[in-house]
Structure 1
Amino acid sequence: MPVTTKRFAAIDILRGLIMVIMALDHVRDYFHIDALTGNPVDLATTTPALFFTRWITHFCAPIFVFLSGLSAFISSRNKTKTQMSAFLIKRGLWLIIVEIVVMSFILTFNLSYNIIFLLVLWAIGWSMIVLGLLIRLSYKWILGIGLVLFFGHNIFDHLPAFTGTAGFIVEALVTGSRTILPIGSSHLAVSSYAVLPWTGIMLLGYAMGYLYRTEVTALQRERFLIATGFGLLLLFVLLRVINVYGDPSPWEPQKNGVYTLLSFLNVTKYPVSLQFSCLTLGIGLLVLAFFETKENRFTRYVTVYGRVPFFYYVFHFLLIHIVCMLLFFILTPGAPVADPNSPFLFRPVNFGFSLPVVYLIWIGIVVAMYYPCYRYDRYKQANKQKWWLSYL
């Protein structure tokens, strides 16, 4: 018999918090003067402020994917396996289409689609499809496959490189940091999200949903989240100290203690490494446990974003690029809208501002998104019977 499900405030709070932080990196991409010419985590050129501006946003994608799996488990309590499988597969396909058709345009404003970006919605979409196919199996199978992907995918760092078609498949699924697929002579698709490591995170998020059954008390859930969070952080430290497995870029002593710490924390996101996942999810689980019993003005504020993540994700990118376009016309009148060295229209390589200005724009974008998110959430709550809203 279907089980009545409820929303867990801590999940919405954490999701909303990472959505707010996520916008910082996207604003940096469009507005920081060095965003298209430098690497904020390159220790030879970065500053601690710029490094941590990028590093703090590392938490967003893995926690979001993990919470997507967690939410899938909670939702599945009110559906049959057949219904849930069909929903996840259809929603996964929908996210892939949105990534290709909608987000690639919003990111570039290029109606010719010369570059198609396959980013986090691409990874989430394929992960949902895999989960939708696996959901007919037992819980233990899903947990087991998730653990294998999560802990085992970095074994490819120690294997001989694959070549030809096999090499392309392995790169796209497991090892690729920037997989490029030419489409004709003037178009290409670029993916920085190798799918299977992210799928492992989603499967473990789904498995963690076991804690959100009605039989589990909030105190039991909080204790397990804390224990697991600290366990992942301990594993991160051990793997990082050993410096052999779990990340293709080992840390090295630097010119001083600050930069040595940056090197230690500089784990690999593309493709997502085990050490990256342990660090980000470890802290994410501790924050999730912290918000288990917290409610105040701040949590109510970020919850608004966390309840409408898809809406926020799409429209905050659109707002960022529109603001960038307006500032481009104001500050560089007469300049060509396309720069051959930039994938984004209205964002030439030499355009941008200092880091403090980037932070001010970020705050403005987040504040501007609040009311639309609030109104959309109210609309969703008043129209729960509309099936298509579950895809948005």
Structure 2
Amino acid sequence: MERSEPVTQQLKVAAGRIGSIDVVRGLVMVIMALDHVRDLLHISALTQDPANLATTTPTIFLTRWITHLCAPTFVFLSGTSAYLSLRRRGATGQTVRANRFFLLKRGVVLLLLELTIVNFAFWFDIHFRTIMLQVIFTIGGGFIVLSFLSKLPARTLGIIGLIIIFGHDLLLLVPPFGNQTARFIWTLFFRIDLFTFSPTFTVLAAYPLIPWLGIMLVGFVGGQLMERPMEQRKRLLFGLGLASLALFLILRLVNLYGDQVPWAVQKNSVFTFMSFINVSKYPPSLLYTLLMVGIALLILSITDGAYNALTRVLTVYGKVPMFYYILHWYLVHLSMIAMSLLQGYSLADLPTGALNFGRPAGAGVSLGVVYLVWLALVIILYPLCKWYGRYKSAHPEITLLRYV
């Protein structure tokens, strides 16, 4: 008896990878490196907010704005990949309980990596006097929550995700807690905040779990789309991307709900446009999510089935996201130290302290040099990622490689 076409397609998806996921993930990771190079090397990064329309320039603003695409796309695709991973493991006979435990372990490993190897890459501080909870923290926490929620029907998970995305902005109206413990717990789940627990220990919670969990849950349910035949899923992804952008446009024009900062007419049309697209990432507002996920869905649709030199290169990065993420932070930080030394500073001149990457106040390079350093780092990472991808593929028996 022949299998039906949908079942056959699902088995094919369960057995392999969806190329466009690796391509898009690779694209946003390449873009992500630009933001981190700008943060640590640009001459005005310590004193100028690139999103402050009173002081920024269009070039600096757009250099920062384009990198807003990275975190929501990465979190969304983490959910999608988790769904497809569970499907693959189920197709090989793994039990539901074993699959959920695998997701739980994956989340715990990511949290441990964030608190150790990743945070050391941020600060190069062996004493760990500063801890910054960023995207790896929220993905790890999201996987842990998802390991418990994955037993629910996909439709239910999608509804929960949409409720979070559309409603969590209302939680910004909750006044800050006076008790530091309560404030810290609330922050981990719902908003960003800085905590100085002692003169030698500071925590910046920059990626609250629940707002980003909404994006991950929608991405998890979106994994079902990737089981459909390619032409069908391309149309669906493109249509959903356009719908997301259309809803963003409507809500942004209404200018009443969906973002912490309403847009306003500025000194010229360029800055007015910048104000219109200047959406809030910390935490991710409804409009930020609609705009960035909408763009990501369009790119997923366009790159699905596209095989060319560019997609092949991006796939190399996209297949080893955690390896790339960790390694690129170390290279960016080392580049900042090298820049400082070349500009006449000594190692003793590198400052220390809470939320201090160690860059002297007078050190820095122009935006043009930032772009050159970014391209150089991305090129250096290519053969390393290609080697690691091959090594990981050749050694499935090494359990640790499944997490990095």
TM-score (norm 1): 0.95
1:193 aligned residue (195, 201, 207): 207
Q: Aligned-pair distance for 1:245?
A: 1.0
Q: Aligned-pair distance for 1:262?
A: 0.4
**Residue 74, structure 1, aligned to residue 84, structure 2:** yes
Q: Is the 8 A contact 1:341 1:348 kept in 2?
A: no
- What's the CA shift string for 1:197-224, capped at 9, x where partnerless? 10010010000011122xx211111111
1:124 aligned residue (133, 136, 139): 139
The residue type paired with residue 39 of structure 1 is D
The residue type paired with residue 172 of structure 2 is D
Between 1:378-387 and 1:9-18, the stretch displaced more is 378-387
Q: Aligned-pair distance for 1:337?
A: 3.8
Q: Match of 2:196, SS?
A: strand
- What's the CA shift string for 1:354-382, capped at 9, x where partnerless? 10010000000000000000000010111
Q: Match of 1:116, SS?
A: strand
**Residue 50, structure 1, aligned to residue 56, structure 2:** no
Aligned to 1:221: 233
The residue type paired with residue 49 of structure 1 is T
1:60 aligned residue (64, 70, 74): 70
Aligned to 1:32: 42
**Residue 203, structure 1, aligned to residue 217, structure 2:** yes
Q: Is the 8 A contact 2:100 2:150 kept in 1?
A: yes
Q: Alpha carbons of 1:45 and 1:134: their partners in 2 closer, same or farther (altered >3 Å)?
A: same
Q: Is the 8 A contact 2:191 2:207 kept in 1?
A: no
Q: Aligned-pair distance for 1:150?
A: 1.3
**Residue 146, structure 1, aligned to residue 161, structure 2:** yes
**Residue 22, structure 1, aligned to residue 32, structure 2:** yes
Q: Distance in 1 between matches of 2:284 and 2:113?
A: 22
Aligned to 1:108: 123
The residue type paired with residue 16 of structure 1 is G
Q: Match of 2:224, SS?
A: helix
The residue type paired with residue 231 of structure 1 is A
- What's the CA shift string for 1:135-180, capped at 9, x where partnerless? 122222211211111111112234555553554433331232xx12
Aligned to 1:295: 307
Q: Is the 8 A contact 2:129 2:354 kept in 1?
A: no
Q: Is the 8 A contact 2:340 2:364 kept in 1?
A: no
Q: Is the 8 A contact 1:236 1:275 kept in 2?
A: yes
Query: Unpaired runs of 5+ in structure 2?
Result: 1-9
- What's the CA shift string for 1:111-139, capped at 9, x where partnerless? 12111111111111111111111012222
- What's the CA shift string for 1:248-269, capped at 9, x where partnerless? 1111111111101000000000
Q: Alpha carbons of 1:269 and 1:345: their partners in 2 closer, same or farther (altered >3 Å)?
A: closer
Q: How does 1:1-392 map to 2 (within 5 A)?
A: 4-77=14-87, 78-79=89-90, 80-159=95-174, 163-164=178-179, 166-176=182-192, 179-213=193-227, 216-334=228-346, 336-339=348-351, 343-392=355-404
Q: Distance in 2 between matches of 1:160 and 1:61?
A: 27
Q: Distance in 1 between matches of 2:343 and 2:124?
A: 19
Q: Distance in 1 between matches of 2:347 and 2:394?
A: 47
Q: Aligned-pair distance for 1:242?
A: 0.9
Q: Is the 8 A contact 2:110 2:139 kept in 1?
A: yes
Q: Is the 8 A contact 2:24 2:299 kept in 1?
A: yes
- What's the CA shift string for 1:290-330, capped at 9, x where partnerless? 01121101110111000000000000111111122122222
Q: Aligned-pair distance for 1:346?
A: 4.1
Q: Distance in 2 between matches of 1:231 and 1:163?
A: 41
The residue type paired with residue 71 of structure 1 is S
Q: Match of 1:113, SS?
A: coil
Q: Is the 8 A contact 1:341 1:349 kept in 2?
A: no
Q: Is the 8 A contact 1:5 1:74 kept in 2?
A: no
Between 1:369-378 and 1:239-248, the stretch displaced more is 239-248
Q: Aligned-pair distance for 1:341?
A: 7.1
The residue type paired with residue 58 of structure 2 is P
Q: Distance in 1 between matches of 2:247 and 2:73?
A: 18
Query: Unpaired runs of 5+ in structure 1?
Result: none
Q: Alpha carbons of 1:56 and 1:69: their partners in 2 closer, same or farther (altered >3 Å)?
A: same
TM-score (norm 2): 0.92
Give the total of aligned pairs.
Answer: 388
The residue type paired with residue 77 of structure 2 is L
Q: Distance in 1 between matches of 2:198 and 2:355?
A: 17
- What's the CA shift string for 1:54-106, capped at 9, x where partnerless? 00000000000000000011011123321221111111111111111111111
Between 1:326-335 and 1:89-98, the stretch displaced more is 326-335
The percentage of aligned residue pairs carrying the same residue is 42
Q: Is the 8 A contact 2:263 2:278 kept in 1?
A: yes
